[in-house]
Copies of this chain bind each other. A is one copy, B any other.
């Protein structure tokens, strides 16, 4: 292993340990000493990579953003229709939020800091939902009389709420709960014909391609590449 590879590994270990500390104690109460210990490195090694706790948080946020972007791109490439891609994205993102501590902590941090940070993940999700409904209407799969601004707000509100509620009870991000949401919403989002083609539980092949990264951090890291 080259010196550069070792440095990259240490950096990854620090980001993961920081995410665990932020997830468990919150940003304010997380301690740098605990983060370096969690990564199995000295506090000198931590300071070689990150000047401040804020710099660590920024690294966790940007790692989370990278993973989430990759998941959304994957779903939109593989799903059979715009609406199905929206459903599939929500499932793979929820799965990742449940099981990948870097994504979870990075997303939480971003919700706090988004108003003065470059990346605003909730805003990106809102724009993704809005564009998807536009595309779906163009393809004749969303009824022309649907009030897309209302539908967008409902989808964004409900998914943001599930994420917020899952901070105390992760079952809000379970596949079962999310499937129930799409059962409820899809009849408003899709024409009756399009509805018969949609799977509220997600497209198995899309979800399975990313799903197992959940329990395999190495796989999740590969996705981030």
The interface of chain A, by Cβ under 8 A from chain B, is 28, 111, 114-115, 122, 147, 149-151, 153-154, 156-165, 168, 172, 177, 180-181, 183-185, 187-188
Contacts and interface: CB of A to CB of B under 8 A. Distances in A.
A158 B165 CA distance: 11
A157 B185 contact: no
A129 to B, nearest CB: 12
Contact of A149 (B157, B164, B168, B180): B180
The majority secondary structure among interface residues of chain A is helix
Contacts of A177: 153
A99 to B, nearest CB: 20
Contacts of A122: 165
21 contacts: A28-B28, A114-B168, A115-B168, A147-B180, A149-B180, A150-B180, A150-B184, A153-B181, A154-B158, A154-B184, A156-B161, A156-B165, A157-B172, A157-B181, A158-B161, A160-B165, A161-B161, A161-B162, A161-B164, A164-B164, A187-B188
Contacts of A147: 180, 183-184
A185 B147 CA distance: 12
A39 to B, nearest CB: 25
